Amino acid sequence: MANSPEALSLYAVLALLLRWGVSLHSYSGKGKPPMFGDYEAQRHWMEITYHLPVKEWYQNSTNNDLLYWGLDYPPLSAYHSLICGVFAQWVNPEFIALFKSRGYESYSHKFFMRVSVILADILVFIPAVFWWCSEARRRANPSKTRSGFPLVLLVLAYPGLILIDHGHFQYNSVSIGFMIAAIAAIMGNCNIIGAILFTLAVNYKQMELYHALPFFFYLLGTCLQQKSYTRKFYELAKIGSAVLLTFSIIWLPLAVNDAAKHTLIRLFPFNRGPYEDKVANFWCSASVLYKFHRAWGNVGMARACLAATAIAVLPSCVDLVMRPEVKRLHLALVNSSLAFFLFSYHVHEKSILLVALPVALIASQDWWMQPALVLPHLWFLCITTLSMFPLLTRDGLTIPAVCLTILYPLLCLLVASGFESPPKNSPFRVLMQSNILVRYAAVMSLTIFVILIWAYLTIKPPEIYPDLFPLLISAFSCAHFIPFFVYFNWIQFTLPSEKV
């Protein structure tokens, strides 16, 4: 059963149960006027896209006050909001009544909104993960189609994505699902389809630009590997044409309605500062010692962020274009997204999800291929969730956050031990294969996290430092992310080249 479709179906059901359990809890901005939170933002976008013409979606007007959750995601996300708005109007017009529905909260509406996220997972994220799983298995053992499943539960049950999408309330699974599907297509030697799928990801959430450079340099590298200049140009032209055509189709309604310019202004908010709230990146953590933003201003910070990000991401991209290999692409996605998270401009706490999911993909392969790397990956995935703990607590998600963070590694170990692993390769034995210093560091790290979170929940901070504990949690998380950034780059550069 371990390697059968029935086993994967069981994992999918288990993942959906975890999502539904979290959805029974609170959400962002519940009962907190006047702006409420991300839950209200998503509802409001359904209201706007359903009632207003396309030209007003991203433009300030009497019917669309951009100061009240103005739409700031790309067109594909707006089309998704429109589809949800159509169904909301059919279920109950009060859900998206223009002006009158602001802050609308009811049991039936919460049920509708939660189901919409579950459906996004069912239609996009879970199929993408299964597709990736199938391609990973095929590449690992092409002669045995029924053996060697990667530990797909590492991806499906990752708590950070569940807590943000089904607790806090967002649709990150759509853009991330498209990104994973793009990797799967590339693994299946369908580069054009992969390019189209990643274009969909970027056009759903602009944060997917964190992954854009690895995809670009990988596809460029595969084109440059062609034997003749004619073939190089032909492959590059095919991929470029597919990307441009996909962009054109998605943006055509906005271009026709003269709304493209306003959309771009909304997508890249250079006036909002280098980070939002207490983020576990370099600029926020270093601000304890030096207030970069005050000293340099928005323009200076934007330039510094651009330079730091370019320096951090360039080595990984150069290595990828020189050696365009699938495993190297996975690692480059981690290194690029982590570089952007640590050093780029206007970073959210939730952006760490863009790092965590590629790490989960790598971990689910390394469980079988390089057991010694399993513990560092699981450790990193737990830290990504813990780094968002202050945000989750403000949303009333403390209990599900604690439970999922504890349950996640135990569940992965249990499933692998009971169904996936051969007896000689017990996952508990796998963890013991990790370096002893790594084991002690992981235990010490997680112990300190427990102490910080306990202090955050129980101790009142000094009045002059009201954000003391969230800042400590963010800074401590950043103190992990920077060494992990070095570690994942080292893994990429020391990775043996694939045999041709």
DSSP string, 462-492: PTT-TTHHHHHHHHHHHHHHHHHHHHHHHHH
Residue 468 lies in a domain: yes
Residue 148 lies in a domain: yes
Q: What one-character DSSP code corresponds to residue 94?
A: G
Task: Give counts: helices (H), strands (E), the chain.
Answer: 22, 0
pLDDT at 420: 45
Q: What share of the chain is helix, strand, coil (3-state, %, to 5)?
A: 75, 0, 25
User: pTM above 0.85?
Assistant: yes
Distance (Å) of CA 234 to CA 180, 182, 228: 26, 21, 10
Question: pLDDT tens digits for 163-189?
Answer: 999 999 999 999 999 999 999 999 999
Residues 6+ apart with CB under 8 A from 240: none
Q: What is the pLDDT along the chain (500 residues), one digit of tens a residue?
A: 445 667 778 888 999 999 999 999 999 988 888 888 899 999 999 999 999 999 999 998 888 888 899 898 999 999 999 999 999 999 999 999 998 989 998 999 999 999 999 999 999 999 999 999 888 888 776 544 444 455 788 899 999 999 999 999 999 999 999 999 999 999 999 999 999 999 999 999 999 999 999 999 999 999 999 888 889 899 999 999 999 999 999 999 988 878 888 888 888 766 666 666 778 889 888 888 878 777 787 788 888 889 999 999 999 999 999 999 999 999 999 999 999 999 998 888 899 999 999 999 988 876 555 666 778 888 999 999 999 999 999 999 999 999 999 999 888 777 665 544 444 455 566 566 667 888 889 899 999 999 999 999 999 988 888 889 999 999 999 999 999 999 999 999 998 877 54
**Token couple for 485:** 């950034």
Q: How many domains does the chain have?
A: 1
CA torsion sign for 28, 31, 37, 41 is: positive
Residue 100 lies in a domain: no
d(CA 179, CA 337): 12
Residue 63 lies in a domain: no
Residue 372 lies in a domain: yes
Residue 38 lies in a domain: no
Parent domain of 174: 5-30+105-494
Residue 85 lies in a domain: no
Residue 79 lies in a domain: no
